[in-house]
Chain A
Amino acid sequence: MTFNVLVQAIISGILVGGVYALIGIGLTIIFGVMRVINFAHGELMMVGMYMTYFLFTLAGIDPFVSIVITIPLMFIFGGILQKVFINRIIGTLPQNQILLTIGLGLIMSNSIMLAFTSDYKILTTSYSSASVSIAGISVSEPLTISFLITAVITAVLYWFLMKTDMGQAMRATSQDREAAQLMGINVQRMSILAFGLGASLAGTAGALISPTYYIFPQVGSAFTLKAFVIVVLGGMGSVIGATLGGIIIGVVESVGAVTISSDWKDVLVFTIFLLVLLVKPSGLMGKSRM
């Protein structure tokens, strides 16, 4: 395996890792603020993909442009889910929370399947297979654009969490819910905010990946598992951790596919996951720090 192939694998891995990071960040915010393990996270991404698809085919809006519509819509969707369903089980057994979100995920994916059939949908844009050649390495155009958008979103999110009142309230809630409540923070509202934010991030990740991937109702479950690996690796509740975790996993998958084989790369990812759980379950960045 030549150096060229290795560099190519690393570059591709970093670019795909950007999208993974976005999914992971959403999941980690939800866990950080609400201590809920959202097993329906991949399905939220899937909803974002379908939204993007219909905006593209019915209204002709480019997927990267349509995220300005997808983000607020998904935010509202996430908020509704939180208020109607998830709110009732905050503070109960984590096992029940997991099962509730599993149930919600099943409902989402199967409703979409009923409505739109399980036929695969392909979104074809003018740049879907375009790439730029830099020093012999082929850099995917659509992936680069989504990486840049992800970077911008992550920066904005970080600024929101660090510099705004609401963001700081969210961080306080994730550090210590009761103390935050005593300080006068409306923790209920924080939960709605967190879930809405998580949903819109997941939906955006779906929108960003849709020019290069394909869309079907069950696409979410593979990404949910990956999201968990990323979040545990990065540290549950840490945004920086999820970002790092996403990129690491993207690179591991990509390099694993060329060094070992594409069959075993998923086994590699899950093995890393187990090792992290056993050796350092708080992940790279530790727990409860956004």
Chain B
Amino acid sequence: MKSFSLTASDTRGFSAPALVIGVAILAALFLFPSFVQSPYVLHMMILLFLSTIMGESWNIIGGYTGQYSVGHAAYFGAGAYGTLILLQKWEIAPWFGMWVGIAVALVLALVIGSICFRLRGPYFVLASIAVAEIVRLTVLNTPTVTNGAEGILLTDIPPFKIGATVITDFVSKVPFYYISLVLALLTIAVTWLVQHSKLGYCIQAIREDQDAAHSLGISLSFYKNVALAISATLTSLAGSFYAIYIKFIDPTTVLALDLSVQIVLIAIIGGIGTIYGPVVGSLVLVPLSEALRSNVIAQGLINSGIVREDSGIGIFLKEHLAHAHVLIYGILVVIVILFMPDGVLGFVKKMTKKSGTGD
């Protein structure tokens, strides 16, 4: 898989131009809503940040520790359900409710870890799927607590106050934009910290060769569980955010296998085991999905004259391309696994190195 080497971009110190670009991007992101008011564009950015959060969180246990969990929806759902159950049943504000979500996610992580970490490779994958399905079915079948198949509809978010001043009452998308941006930056920062810590060293050693790591005295279960705990916490935060932003959750939207697979795809397609891989994955998948769904691509092909509007292909594209986004995910995964094992990010890095402008 990846060779464990330290390139210039992985070391602690940042080069000066990288730092300037980084600060410029951050500033642009924070100032963005002042210039762009369109709720639609803000919504797209929020989806981008959400996707980044989910991909980065998974990456810690999947990419860095090499334990491919295809059941991360369990933690996402824990956050979503924890937050909304408390809010709708006992009117506890989401910034407190989300801690309950995290607590539930951590308990799940501990249980899953103790059951599944002794299993290797593909068996771990299967076990993680089974546990996530058990969680989903349990939520589905305990309607007195979770509302079961009917799901939970969020009617009112309490305004966020500090003292007596109302900071926001969550009517526009702007507060959601900033919350998701901060969460995304948080997950990237945590990933960076993990990579440059002893924890990161140990989990990557586990990924490379579990037995060798063990013989070096690295406690396998301790480090795997810590990595999973961090991953679960961050994924749970993503779930809590999703719940108050989208305002409706049910077992099919926040606990399904489809969601777990999509979370994995973000990291794989972007570049597994790297800090910015999931960001790249989100940058590829989110706009692509929306462009397909809103028929921009089909319309573009027609407008540019490549396809005639009334031809068979034209009609087919207009009608159906909107539903093709999962198909594209599948195609991308196959391409990445076969030809770009380091993801789009790795591929781009290789290309830029080859053309002589590399680091």
Contact = CB atoms under 8 A, between A and B. Distances in A.
Most interface-central of B122, B129, B133 (chain A CB within 10 A): B122
Most interface-central of A95, A97, A232 (chain B CB within 10 A): A95
Contacts of A281: 119, 123
Contact of B134 (A93, A105, A267): A267
A264 B136 CA distance: 11
A98 interface: yes
Contact of B141 (A89, A96, A263): A263
Contacts of A94: 121-122, 125
Given A93-B1, A114-B320, A277-B126, A99 B333 contact: yes
B164 interface: no
A263 B140 contact: yes
Nearest to A229: B130
A103 B337 contact: yes
Interface in A265-288: 266-267, 270-271, 273-274, 277-278, 281
A274 B330 contact: no
Given A104-B330, A266-B137, A113 B122 contact: no
B160 interface: no
Given A266-B133, A277-B126, A100 B320 contact: no
B131 interface: yes
A107 B115 contact: no
B23 interface: no
A70 interface: no
Nearest to B125: A98
B127 interface: yes
Contact of B122 (A89, A95, A104): A95
B283 interface: no
B337 A100 contact: yes
A88 interface: yes
A225 interface: yes
Interface in B108-163: 115, 118-119, 121-123, 125-127, 129-131, 133-134, 137-138, 140-141
Interface string B1-35: 10000000000000000000000000000000000
Interface stretch (B182-190, B198-206, B321-329): B321-329
A277 B134 CA distance: 15
Interface residues of B, number: 40
Secondary structure of the A contact surface, majority rule: helix
B338 A89 contact: yes
B115 A274 contact: yes
A180 interface: no
Contacts, number: 111
Contact of A103 (B66, B137, B333): B333
A56 B218 CA distance: 60
A277 B131 CA distance: 12
B268 to A, nearest CB: 6
A99 B341 CA distance: 11
B285 interface: no
A114 B323 contact: yes
Nearest to A36: B122
A242 to B, nearest CB: 15
A170 to B, nearest CB: 21
B42 interface: no
B133 A270 contact: yes
A109 B85 CA distance: 35
A228 interface: yes
Contacts of B134: 267, 270-271, 274
A110 B333 CA distance: 14
B348 interface: no
A55 interface: no
B125 A110 contact: no
Nearest to B258: A221
Contact of A107 (B122, B323, B334): B334
Interface in B323-353: 323-324, 326-327, 329-334, 337-338, 341
Contacts of A102: 261, 330, 333
Given A102-B261, A103-B333, A225-B129, A110 B119 contact: no
A273 B333 contact: no
Task: Give the top 4 A-B pairs by smallest Cβ distance, nearest first.
Answer: A106-B330, A103-B333, A110-B327, A107-B330
Given A89-B337, A102-B261, 12 more contacts: A96-B337, A99-B337, A104-B330, A106-B333, A110-B330, A114-B320, A229-B130, A263-B140, A267-B141, A271-B134, A274-B134, A278-B118
